A and B are shown apart, each in its own frame.
Chain A
Amino acid sequence: MGRYLAKRLLLAIPILFGVSVIVFLFLRLIPGDPAQVMLGEKATPQALAEIRQEMGLDKPLYVQYSRYMVKLLQGDLGRSITSHTRVTEELGARFPATVELTIAAMIVALLIGIPAGIISATRQYSFFDNASMFVALLGVSMPVFWLGLMLLWFFSFYLGWFPMSARLDVSFDIPTITNLYVVDSILAGNWAALANSLWHLVLPAVALGTIPMATFARMTRSSMLEVLRQDYVRTARSKGLAERLVIAKHSLKNALIPVVTVIGLEFGLLLNGAVMTETIFAWPGIGKLAFDAIMQRDFPLLQGILLLVAAAFVLINLAVDMIYAYLDPRIHYE
Chain B
Amino acid sequence: MLYLNSEQGFPGPAPAQPGLPAQPAPPAVTEPTPVGDNLAPQTTTLLRDAWRRLLRNRSAVAGMIVVGLLILVAVFAPLIAPHDPLAQDFDSRILPPSAGHLLGTDDLGRDILSRIIYGSRVSLAAGILSTALAVAAGVLIGAFATYYGGFWDNLAMRMMDIMLAFPQILLAIAIVAILGPGLTNAMLAIGIISIPIYARVVRSSILSLREKEFIEAARALGASDLQIIFKHLLPNCMGPLIVQATLGIATAIIEAASLSFLGLGAQPPTPEWGAMLNGGRHLLRQAPWVTAFPGIAIVVLVMGVNLFGDGLRDALDPRLKQ
Is there contact, CB below 8 Å, between A146 and B299?
Answer: yes
Is there contact, CB below 8 Å, between A302 and B174?
Answer: yes
Is there contact, CB below 8 Å, between A141 and B174?
Answer: no
**A254-272 toward B: CB 8 Å interface, digit per residue (1/0)?**
0000000000000011011
Is the CB of B262 closer than 8 A to any CB of chain A?
yes
**Alpha-carbon distance between A133 and B301 when the two chains are bound, in angstroms:** 18
Give the distance to chain A from B158, nearest Cβ to Cβ, in Å. Answer: 6
Is there contact, CB below 8 Å, between B178 and A18?
Answer: no
- A-B interface contact total, Cβ < 8 Å: 115
Report 17 cross-chain contacts, Cβ distance below 8 Å, ordered by A residue: A15-B162, A18-B158, A19-B162, A22-B166, A26-B174, A29-B178, A141-B250, A142-B295, A143-B274, A149-B284, A149-B295, A150-B291, A153-B288, A275-B169, A279-B262, A297-B177, A314-B165
With A26-B174, A149-B295, A276-B261 in contact, is A137–B158 under 8 Å at CB?
no
Considering only residues 249-306 of chain A, those with a C-beta below 8 Å from chain B are 268-269, 271-273, 275-276, 279-280, 287, 290-291, 294, 297, 302, 305-306
What is the number of residues of chain B that contact chain A, defined by CB distance less than 8 Å? Answer: 35
Is the CB of B194 closer than 8 A to any CB of chain A?
no
Is there contact, CB below 8 Å, between A150 and B173?
Answer: no
Residues of chain A touching chain B, judged by Cβ–Cβ distance below 8 Å, are: 14-16, 18-19, 22, 26, 29-30, 137-138, 140-143, 145-146, 149-150, 152-153, 157, 268-269, 271-273, 275-276, 279-280, 287, 290-291, 294, 297, 302, 305-306, 309-310, 313-314
Is the CB of B298 closer than 8 A to any CB of chain A?
yes
Considering only residues 160-200 of chain B, those with a C-beta below 8 Å from chain A are 161-162, 165-170, 173-174, 177-178
With A310-B166, A313-B167 in contact, is A30–B178 under 8 Å at CB?
yes
Is there contact, CB below 8 Å, between B285 and A137?
Answer: no
Is there contact, CB below 8 Å, between A143 and B162?
Answer: no
Q: Which residue of A lies closest to B63 (CB)?
A: A137
A141 surroundings in chain B (CB, below 8 A): 250, 254, 299, 302-303, 306
Give the distance to chain B from A80, nearest Cβ to Cβ, in Å. Answer: 16
**Alpha-carbon distance between A276 and B285 when the two chains are bound, in angstroms:** 19
Is there contact, CB below 8 Å, between B302 and A268?
Answer: no
B161 surroundings in chain A (CB, below 8 A): 15, 18
Is the CB of B307 closer than 8 A to any CB of chain A?
yes
B165 surroundings in chain A (CB, below 8 A): 15-16, 18-19, 310, 313-314
A15-B158, A149-B277 known, 9 other contacts, Cβ within 8 Å: A141-B250, A143-B277, A149-B281, A150-B288, A276-B169, A291-B262, A294-B177, A297-B177, A310-B165
Is there contact, CB below 8 Å, between B173 and A275?
Answer: yes
Is there contact, CB below 8 Å, between B299 and A271?
Answer: no
Interface majority SS (helix, strand, loop, mixed), chain A? helix
**Alpha-carbon distance between A54 and B261 when the two chains are bound, in angstroms:** 35
B266 surroundings in chain A (CB, below 8 A): none
- Pick from B166, B258, B277, B307: contact of A19, CB below 8 A: B166
Interface majority SS (helix, strand, loop, mixed), chain B? helix
Give the distance to chain A from B116, nearest Cβ to Cβ, in Å. Answer: 13
**Alpha-carbon distance between A276 and B292 when the two chains are bound, in angstroms:** 17
Is there contact, CB below 8 Å, between A290 and B173?
Answer: yes
- Pick from A14, A142, A157, A305: contact of B284, CB below 8 A: A157
B258 surroundings in chain A (CB, below 8 A): 143, 145, 276
**Alpha-carbon distance between A18 and B162 when the two chains are bound, in angstroms:** 6
Q: Which residue of B lies closest to A299 (CB)?
A: B177
Is there contact, CB below 8 Å, between B274 and A309?
Answer: no
**Alpha-carbon distance between A291 and B174 when the two chains are bound, in angstroms:** 9
Is the CB of B252 closer than 8 A to any CB of chain A?
no
Is there contact, CB below 8 Å, between A146 and B291?
Answer: yes
Is the CB of B87 closer than 8 A to any CB of chain A?
no
A18 surroundings in chain B (CB, below 8 A): 158-159, 161-162, 165
Give the distance to chain B from A327, nearest Cβ to Cβ, in Å. Answer: 20
A22 surroundings in chain B (CB, below 8 A): 162, 166
With A26-B178, A137-B306, A146-B295 in contact, is A306–B158 under 8 Å at CB?
no
**Alpha-carbon distance between A158 and B275 when the two chains are bound, in angstroms:** 24
A287 surroundings in chain B (CB, below 8 A): 170
Give the distance to chain B from A87, nearest Cβ to Cβ, in Å. Answer: 16
**Alpha-carbon distance between A291 and B169 when the two chains are bound, in angstroms:** 11
Q: Which residue of B lies closest to A297 (CB)?
A: B177
Is the CB of B126 closer than 8 A to any CB of chain A?
no
B291 surroundings in chain A (CB, below 8 A): 146, 149-150, 153
